[in-house]
Amino acid sequence: MKRFLKAFIIIILLCFLFLFFKKPKLEKCYYSDSYFIELNLALQRQAKGASHAIIDLNRLDNNIATIKNHLGNRFNLRLVTKSLPSFELLDYLMKNANTKSLMVFSEPFIAEILNKYSADTLDILLGKPLPVDAVYRLSNLKKWNSVCWLIDTEKRLNEYLALAKSTQTKLKIALEINIGLQRGGFDNAEQIEQIVNQIKANPNYLELKGLMGYDGHVPYVPFYINKNKQIEKAFADAQNRYNAFVDILEKNYSKQILDSMIFNSGGTRTYFYYKNYSGKMRVNDIAIGSGFLTPNLFPELYNYGHQPASFLASCVLKKIETAKLPLVESISPIINWWNPNLSVSYFMLGGGWPGNVVEPKGIQHNTFWDGDENSYKNLLPNQSILSSSKQSTLKIDDYVFTQSWEGDGILCFRNVLLYKNKKIIGEWSTFDGGN
């Protein structure tokens, strides 16, 4: 009995020590950056009492200039529409980044773009292959055959060829090539040669416009002592693979036709490697989307001069100074003592968006309420909850700012407020279509 009691006391002491050393430190809750102080004031002056998506035009202009500076004049810039889901945003970027090239991904967005623009004035390339049934549906829209469709297998090529024959249309196509990402596409030059022969055998129905090979794997090399060197090696390997595919096309097409072809690659996480690459390179077209808004999952872009240009904001609806948990009110003081940063509860007008709360500093999700640290079970939440310590300057009607994980986070809203020089100056609408 004594041994049992002794063991029990030791276990209790160990648990106490564990909880003591794990006890969170008190954090003050306040706007730590003057930028968010000004943005909060602008929203309260001009857009109070509602949740909003926001694009900062000053920061967007900075990101445009940064991207253009890194690309130089050697590469055509292609806008990735899935990460920039607003026609006004696309118009702004096409004008200020001086490009008419778009990369599209889904049937609804393609339909919206074909209905919105005169498609033959744009250079539209698919970023992933579409099932042929989707293309059949899109064939009812004007200028649908101005799109450059993406082919990744011989089977899909035959399906598109059958579509072209049934509609008596000549289709523009590009070939998806695997340059190391291992996400499909043609794996080697021999496969490409067979496909090229089939395309050239059907000149009334198929026209090869180029290649698309995404290098998204390059930054994710396994850990090495010199990771940067390994990234450079992976990038060089991707370029060598790409060059081998172009070499096959060089044997089958004239220089004039080859010079007009699209050789697309790159992306927000790799575009800055291209300008100073000293090896042989056939890529002439770089696709970028999220880099313009610089969302939460791209912090490495700050090293290259990017600034986060998009936020989702919700105002505080209720502030509960003496936070209690339902059904266990009696032990709530113990929980708040152990974690003083849960002592005050804020019930928000909106929230639950796909992103991370970035301001004010010291505010956090309350997992006792929400059940998990991300708290994204409901994307249209009713009074989502955040918490802080009692040392807080946050008031009712103040705004909490979320930085979405990806650029398409603005799709949580029908409209996006435009912020420039500390003022709200207008708004843009987002795409109607879904995925």
Residue 127 has pLDDT above 50, yes or no: yes
- The three-state secondary structure class of 202 is coil
Where in the chain are the domains?
25-53+308-429, 105-283
Lowest mean per-residue pLDDT among 68-77, 220-229, 288-297: 220-229
pLDDT of residue 365: 83
User: Which residues have a Cβ under 8 Å from the Cβ of 21 and sit 6 or more positions away?
Assistant: none
- Comparing 214 with 336, the larger pLDDT belongs to 214
CA distance 297 to 290: 9
From 281, 351, 259, 284, select the one nearest 312 (Cα to Cα).
351
Query: Which tens digits make up the pLDDT trace of 266-282?
Result: 999 999 999 889 899 99
Query: Which tens digits make up the pLDDT trace of 412-427?
Result: 999 999 999 999 999 9
The counts of H helices and E strands in the chain are: 13, 17
* Mean pLDDT, residues 250-274: 96
- Comparing 324 with 41, the larger pLDDT belongs to 41
Burial of 287 (0-12, 13-18, 19+ CB in 10 A): buried
pLDDT of residue 375: 47
Burial of 61 (0-12, 13-18, 19+ CB in 10 A): middle
What average pLDDT does the chain have? 89
The fraction of the chain above a pLDDT of 90, given in percent, is 73
Query: Which tens digits make up the pLDDT trace of 208-228?
Result: 999 999 999 999 988 777 888
CATH class label, 105-283 = alpha beta
- The three-state secondary structure class of 141 is coil
pLDDT of residue 108: 92
CATH code for the structural domain at 25-53+308-429:
2.40.37
pLDDT of residue 23: 77
- Comparing 65 with 228, the larger pLDDT belongs to 65
Burial of 141 (0-12, 13-18, 19+ CB in 10 A): middle
pLDDT of residue 382: 60
Residue 13 has pLDDT above 50, yes or no: yes
Residue 196 has pLDDT above 70, yes or no: yes
* Mean pLDDT, residues 89-118: 95
Lowest mean per-residue pLDDT among 115-124, 145-154, 217-226, 283-292: 217-226
CA distance 232 to 36: 37
